[in-house]
């Protein structure tokens, strides 16, 4: 049964995005520094377009993987023999990837010649996150109390990132928000791995017992221990960014901007 | 039984508003562009007043339709024979139309000679949406688990649009917010059609089974598939707006305004 | 049994505040207009101090009434004979009045010579509202499903006003917010009367049946019908304010301020 | 059984922080006043660094205390004999301290030579509060209805402070927010003491009955009575701050800043 692989792939999708952003945003600021006065550097645009393309590409890969892995639904949605829906959690995950695909397409549109309003990329990222969050929130897990608990815990990371991206629609280029969002993606990614280990142990055997409330309470803590490992990565990324900033000159304006928030760098 | 027709009419009410806004906001900006320096163009005012009048008119139509269709409550609220309330979901839907009627009246008042504070139109739109959302949230669906699920899913679109309109009280003329609100109205409209098909199939026969949780899970995804079709419409409307903007001149100020948010165009 | 009277008294407390504000805020702006250039008019200060004093006074009255009416707890909290708490909903309502009393005291402190930070009055009003909302939210109504429903509906008005007052901590003198808050107080007041009529009919007899879900659904609508009557009052108050504004001179700055929100009048 | 002591220690941790802030913020403003023109006074920096160090130190103490007290888990997480998790609420409380430890470390990093972005200290404080809130929200209390109720009530103070700290990421040095946060910490601290008295009476005997809903309703009120005692402390701290402000000169700018919010003092 391919469920562990599916969960790991989902985890990698989010880990990749989160780690990439933890690298990208410090780099972006170095680049913006070096050619100050030219706020729309070609390098940064290229990075954004490549990011969007990759996101759309991996989302497409995710959609195909959810459908076509052995044991997946292979695009059949209703089993007329059994008179029931064919779902197995694959279809909701496919829908999740679909919205991240839209987000990738919007990234490209915003930064290429079509030039749609710039906040649009963050709005569609927020949309993808809200869609993911509500998909798992409104899902009926029947008696699988532990599965439900695992996805409910994940929704903290999902809705947190969604709120973060929504704020960024109005307040772009706020370093703390961008790296906070990155940290929540890393958390979500590592949690998908955890879900795989709990529900479909790769070394075989059944998943953890769904009914035992001891499991529920341990996993609640475990979720926050994941984040307790993410936080140092986050601080490290901020330190990188800081070093990048110190390397540049004329940082007074910067200081002000960062410490007071809600005002944009003038570069 | 007229329930499918009722649901379709409600759907059309929201679809119409959503599609009209997807056309109106790009047009509005072209008009504002052409007579720059004159921020309160007569054309735009006329559009707003007509929109308000039509909204109030259709709301009135909705109220009458909910009451007077064959099978409706015909204004009777309590059946003293059966010692029970006469409701059938018609009365809450009538109440919903009532608040959209208020919103229409406020639109007219704000843009005519009475000239009430301008944010009022958005405030009353937000009120209508919150009232709708809470009406269906606090409704007791008894054993109709699927009906409850369908309305709870819709409340994502309703409360989303309500938050959007609330933000617009403070931040008018923010294109992304206006078109996002439009997209959520289209979603709500098409979902009312879906509700009609699920609960009262127009080709006869009973509605889908209320108890099967497979139905619940399919419809959760289905809701997001509706939005997955709406998103391209939304992007198209933005592209229209973009073209409109490019046709004008002196767009630098615009660019800035749009990309940074929270600052008003100076026209 | 004094419960109807208690509910009516609570209703009057909130109705009085709401109606007073619907009159006060238009008057305040007229006064501010007439002695423009003098932002801290004595008249307005006096109004605020009197309002605070009256609020504290009526809150004290409410505390005493909840305790000392025949049938009330008369300050006894625990019945050691029956080994149970003496409550009857009187103690939570007393606690509610207590926080409105604090809010009244803060109003006085802010506007007298002690001159605490000005946002404090709104903060303590928000606190009183949040305390009220959470008191009734966390109350355990046992089998009284209808009572619970009635208080849950009221919490829409309570938390709405609390959010409104919280926003006003940061954004004072925003007419729409002030009058919106007033409208929610009127709604809350009239709903307390409704609660009285439903649970303790003044013409004797038992209250409505707690179990019938038809009652629940009717009262949900009824709550919004109350507000549907409040909205015209709200629009009327705004029109008064508008007339007051037109009577003054040099209103251009005003117009801008009001329509764009988030900027303070310069008087 | 050491549970009362554990609860009292937790209470002291939060009481200490809350009371310290009620003293610190007025002092901070006096210091900022005295060397006006020099916004980054060494005194204030030193205070912030010492505060961070102490916070991290006490958090470490808390972690050790939760683990090593007689009756604690002594770092064992899974009892392979009983095939169950060893928890006893000690592990979640340890996790709670862990995040406050991170917050302390961030305080030091932000204010020392490493100089990370300034909003980071508030962001990590908000994180610690959100982590605490969700830890107790997602905990499964089984049949301990009263324990659950006690922690749910506490979450009002926790999430309230979390929202407050999140706002401060964007809006530093807003006196009302800082002292409001302090008041919520005092409330949380005193509530931990209350939890200790209710669940593990220090004079021996069993805790209060978990099932009686009268207990639930009394404790709901009791929570707000705690805050009713905190509010005067809060007002007192504000009065101290006010006196400090009056002692300085050139306070007009101040007045404006404070009363209108969302603008930073220029010192």
Q: D124 and A156 in contact by Cβ < 8 A?
A: no
Average pLDDT, chain C: 82
Given pLDDT bands bounded at 50, 70 and 90, which one contains residue B259?
very low
Q: Which of B157, B222, B224 to mutate to test the interface with A (most CBs of A within 10 A)?
A: B224
pTM (predicted TM-score): 0.89
Max mean pLDDT among B18-32, B66-80, D99-113 falls in D99-113
Given pLDDT bands bounded at 50, 70 and 90, which one contains residue A237?
confident
Confidence check: pLDDT of B260 > 50: no
Backbone dihedral angles phi then psi of residue C117, each to the nearest 5 degrees: -50, 140
Confidence check: pLDDT of A63 > 70: yes
Torsion angle of C-alpha atoms D29, D35, D38, D43, degrees rounded to 10: -60
pLDDT 10s digits, B107-147: 888 887 666 777 889 999 999 999 999 999 999 888 889 99
Taking CA atoms, what residue in D is nearest to A257? D117
C-alpha span between A122 and D99 (Å, rounded): 29
Residue B239: name the closest of A144, A113, C14, A71 by CA: A113
Evaluate whether chains A and D are touching (3 or more beta carbon pairs less than 8 Å apart). Answer: yes
What proportion of chain B, given as a percentage, has pLDDT over 70? 82
H-state helical runs in B35-144? 42-68, 90-111, 120-137
Of A156, A235, A260, the CB nearest to D134: A156
Evaluate whether chains C and A are touching (3 or more beta carbon pairs less than 8 Å apart). Answer: no
Q: C214 and B109 in contact by Cβ < 8 A?
A: no
pLDDT 10s digits, C180-227: 999 999 999 999 999 999 999 988 888 888 888 889 999 999 999 999
pLDDT 10s digits, B157-173: 999 999 999 999 988 88
Given pLDDT bands bounded at 50, 70 and 90, which one contains residue C44?
confident
pLDDT 10s digits, C101-146: 999 998 888 887 666 777 889 999 999 999 999 999 999 888 889 9
Q: Which residue has the tokens 């998790």?
A: D85
C-alpha span between B158 and B14 (Å, rounded): 11
Of C91, C116, C142, the CB nearest to D242: C116
Q: C180 and B123 in contact by Cβ < 8 A?
A: yes
Given pLDDT bands bounded at 50, 70 and 90, which one contains residue C260?
very low
Q: C95 and D152 in contact by Cβ < 8 A?
A: no
Residues of B in contact with C231 (CB under 8 A): 102, 124, 127
pLDDT 10s digits, A106-139: 888 888 766 677 788 999 999 999 999 999 999 9
Residues 6+ apart with CB under 8 A from B204: none
* ipTM of predicted complex: 0.87
Confidence check: pLDDT of B267 > 60: no
Q: pLDDT averaged over consecutive 10-residue blocks of chain D (267 residues)?
A: 81 94 80 57 79 94 87 80 79 93 90 74 95 94 90 96 94 86 95 94 86 89 94 78 61 42 33
Q: Which of C120, C139, C151, C261 to mutate to test the interface with D (most CBs of D within 10 A)?
A: C120
Residues 6+ apart with CB under 8 A from B203: none
Q: Which residue has the tokens 């200060």?
A: C45
Q: Residue B99: how many CB atoms within 10 A of its CB?
A: 23
Q: D231 and C169 in contact by Cβ < 8 A?
A: no
* CB B101, CB B60: distance < 8 Å: yes
* CB D107, CB D121: distance < 8 Å: yes
Cα–Cα distances (Å) from A183 to A225, C147, D103, D119, in that order, read 13, 44, 16, 16
* CB D65, CB D11: distance < 8 Å: no
Given pLDDT bands bounded at 50, 70 and 90, which one contains residue C247?
low
Across chain D, the runs of DSSP E, i.e. the strands, are: 78-79, 84-85
Lowest mean pLDDT among A218-227, C77-86, C240-249, D56-65: C240-249
- Chain B: which residues have CB within 8 Å of chain A? 149, 152-153, 156, 175-176, 180, 212-218, 220-221, 224-225, 227-228, 231, 235, 238-239, 242, 258-262
Q: B238 and A77 in contact by Cβ < 8 A?
A: no
Confidence check: pLDDT of B191 > 80: yes
* CB B169, CB B179: distance < 8 Å: no
Given pLDDT bands bounded at 50, 70 and 90, which one contains residue A101?
very high
Q: Which sequence spans correspond to the domains of chain D?
A: 3-260
Given pLDDT bands bounded at 50, 70 and 90, which one contains residue B35?
low
The tally of CA atoms less than 13 A away on the side-chain side of residue A4 is 12
pLDDT 10s digits, D157-173: 999 999 999 999 988 88
Please compute the mean of the pLDDT values over residues B218-226 and round it to a whole number: 94
Which has more confidence, A46 or B132? B132
Please compute the mean of the pLDDT values over residues A96-101 and round it to a whole number: 95
Taking CA atoms, what residue in D is nearest to A218? D85
C-alpha span between A63 and A57 (Å, rounded): 10
Residue B198: name the closest of B27, B7, B34 by CA: B7
Q: A134 and B156 in contact by Cβ < 8 A?
A: yes
């Amino acid at each position: 049964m391919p469920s562990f692989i599916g969960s790991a792939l989902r985890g990698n999708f989010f880990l990749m995005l989160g780690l990439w952003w933890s690298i990208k945003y410090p780099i972006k600021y170095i680049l913006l520094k070096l050619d100050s006065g030219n706020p729309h550097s070609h390098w940064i645009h290229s990075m954004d377009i490549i990011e969007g393309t990759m996101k759309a590409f991996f989302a497409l890969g995710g959609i195909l993987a959810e459908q076509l892995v052995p044991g997946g639904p292979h695009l059949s949605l209703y089993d007329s023999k059994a008179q029931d829906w064919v779902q197995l959690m694959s279809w909701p995950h496919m829908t999740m990837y679909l919205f991240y695909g839209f987000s990738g397409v919007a990234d490209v549109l915003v930064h290429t010649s079509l030039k749609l309003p710039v906040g649009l990329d963050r709005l569609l990222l927020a949309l993808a996150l809200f869609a993911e969050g509500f998909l798992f929130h409104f899902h009926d897990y029947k008696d699988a109390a532990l599965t439900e608990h695992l996805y409910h815990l994940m929704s903290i990371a999902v809705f947190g990132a969604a709120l973060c991206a929504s704020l960024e629609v109005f307040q772009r280029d706020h370093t703390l928000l961008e790296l906070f969002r990155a940290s929540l993606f890393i958390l979500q990614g590592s949690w998908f791995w955890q879900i795989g280990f709990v529900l479909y142990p790769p070394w075989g055997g059944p998943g953890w017992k769904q009914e035992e409330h001891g499991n529920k309470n341990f996993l609640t803590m475990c979720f926050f221990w994941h984040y307790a490992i993410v936080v140092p990565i986050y601080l490290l990324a901020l330190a990188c960014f800081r070093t990048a900033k110190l390397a540049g000159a004329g940082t007074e304006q910067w200081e002000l901007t960062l410490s007071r928030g809600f005002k944009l760098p003038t570069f």
